[in-house]
């Protein structure tokens, strides 16, 4: 079993819809929970991160962490075609990131 599981998608939504992404993890030692966006043939770009269970909002993005169920979510409101990318969850312990497999998102105009 992988330490971090993520549905590979692709997840196709119409422009303006809410995109819902999630990951599950197995390592209780993870302390920080990162979400990265990766465009094709580019390096990952940090979107946001959370530390404790609960919600964190940044513009159109909301990250949720439920440590009791080891479940991480990212929501994108008012999705745009420019949001089309692969989204990677990456829990962190110490300074080591463990990446999920990524979910490919397609936002259609």
Partner 1 sequence: GAVVSQHPSWVICKSGTSVKIECRSLDFQATTMFWYRQFPKQSLMLMATSNEGSKATYEQGVEKDKFLINHASLTLSTLTVTSAHPEDSSFYICSAQASSGVSDTQYFGPGTRLTVL
Q: Which lies closer to partner 1 via its Cβ, residue 69 or residue 95?
A: 95
Least distance from partner 1 to the Cβ atom of residue 102, Å: 5
Buried b (16+ CB within 10 A) or exposed e, 76-93: beebeeebbbbbbbbbbe
| Binding-site string for partner 1 from residue 43 to residue 82, where x marks contact by CB under 8 A and - marks none | xxxx--x-x-------------------------------
Please state, in angstroms and rounded to a whole number, the distance separating the CA atoms of residues 24 and 13.
22
109 touching partner 1, by CB under 8 A: no
């Amino acid at each position: 079993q992988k330490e971090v599981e993520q549905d590979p998608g692709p997840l196709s939504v119409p422009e303006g819809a809410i995109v819902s992404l999630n990951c599950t993890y197995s390592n209780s030692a993870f302390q920080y929970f990162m979400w990265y966006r990766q465009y094709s043939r580019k390096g990952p770009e940090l979107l946001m991160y959370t530390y404790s269970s609960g919600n964190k909002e940044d513009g159109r993005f909301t990250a949720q962490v439920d440590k009791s169920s080891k479940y991480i979510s990212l929501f994108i409101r008012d999705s745009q075609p420019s949001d089309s990318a692969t989204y990677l969850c990456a829990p962190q312990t110490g300074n080591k990131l463990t990446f999920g497999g990524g979910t490919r998102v397609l936002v259609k105009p």
